[in-house]
Chain A
Amino acid sequence: NAGVTQTPKFQVLKTGQSMTLQCAQDMNHEYMSWYRQDPGMGLRLIHYSVGAGITDQGEVPNGYNVSRSTTEDFPLRLLSAAPSQTSVYFCASSPGPGSQETQYFGPGTRLLVL
Chain B
Amino acid sequence: EDKVVQSPLSLVVHEGDTVTLNCSYEVTNFRSLLWYKQEKKAPTFLFMLTSSGIEKKSGRLSSILDKKELFSILNITATQTGDSAIYLCAVDSNYQLIWGAGTKLIIKP
Question: A-side interface residues toward B, CB under 8 Å?
Answer: 35, 40-45, 48, 58-59, 90, 97-98, 100-103, 105-108
Interface of B is mostly: strand
Beyond A98-B31, A101-B45, A108-B41, whether A41 also contacts B96 by CB under 8 A is no
**9 nearest A-B pairs in the assembled complex, by CB-CB distance:** A42-B99, A105-B42, A97-B95, A101-B48, A43-B99, A100-B92, A42-B101, A42-B100, A107-B41
Q: Tell me the number of A-to-B contacts counted with CB atoms below 8 Å.
A: 51
CB distance from B30 to the nearest CB of A (A): 12
Question: B-side interface residues toward A, CB under 8 Å?
Answer: 4, 6, 9, 31-32, 34, 41-45, 48, 88, 90, 92, 95-97, 99-102
Compute how far the CA of A13 lies from the CA of B6 in the bound complex, rounded to whole angstroms: 33
Compute how far the CA of A97 lies from the CA of B94 in the bound complex, rounded to whole angstroms: 9
Compute how far the CA of A63 lies from the CA of B40 in the bound complex, rounded to whole angstroms: 27
| B96–A45 touching, CB < 8 Å | yes
| B34–A100 touching, CB < 8 Å | yes
Residues of chain A with a CB closer than 8 A to B32's CB: 100-101
Residues of chain A with a CB closer than 8 A to B42's CB: 90, 105-108
